Structure 1
């Protein structure tokens, strides 16, 4: 998956996910970052290309989103610590699982409030 494909995937998930709305694109820590424009909706998703052709989708570690993703998709996706989903340059990627994780990140604050 290229960074452009990852960007299109994130934008597509945002467009299809109720409550997310428009995304704001910025650069954080040298990486493309996408977050809902409206406040208190979700957490950011960053695209971190790797030199070996792989990329990582990065999430804010204190949200524990990657732990949630790992519990949902332990064998479908590859994780790096508590910050990232790694997308390898070779081999299949479970796009449905990846899209679900992106949607969970983009609605993190909405879901958190719903549990409160």
Structure 2
């Protein structure tokens, strides 16, 4: 992130903070492992609770950051159905967050929470 613009770094750090905040407030999520996947920051909850979240900024789309989730989940469909007009999604794996406005904290934290508890919640359905 050292080579990213300040706005992208700040947004990514905000997303990172929300992930750790959500994990700290829900003991069932468990300890988050922070790593790199495909050279992108990634956060892995224990496999029994949730699915991996990645986030990154790319120079070819400099006005946004992207949050990625596993494309084999229904998470992006859920985001589309609950936050149409608030969160922009791409395909079945990405949430696009423009950097020219404040991040929509409530919707983003909800989507992150769904990812962090995906497997746990799936067993309840």
Q: Same fold (TM over 0.5)?
A: yes
What is the count of residue pairs matched by the alignment?
114
Structure 2-normalised TM-score? 0.83
| 8 Å CA contact retained: 2:30, 2:49 | no
1:18 deviates by: 4.5
1:5 deviates by: 2.0
How far apart in 1 are the matches of 2:57 and 2:25?
25
Partner of 1:9: 18
1:10-25 to 2 correspondences below 5 Å: 10-25=19-34
1:54 partner SS: strand
1:57 partner SS: strand
Structure 1-normalised TM-score? 0.89
Q: Deviations over 1:21-45 (max 9, x none)?
A: 2101111111111011x33110011
Structure 1: give runs of 5+ residues left out of the alignment.
none
Alpha-carbon RMSD? 1.4
| 8 Å CA contact retained: 1:33, 1:46 | yes
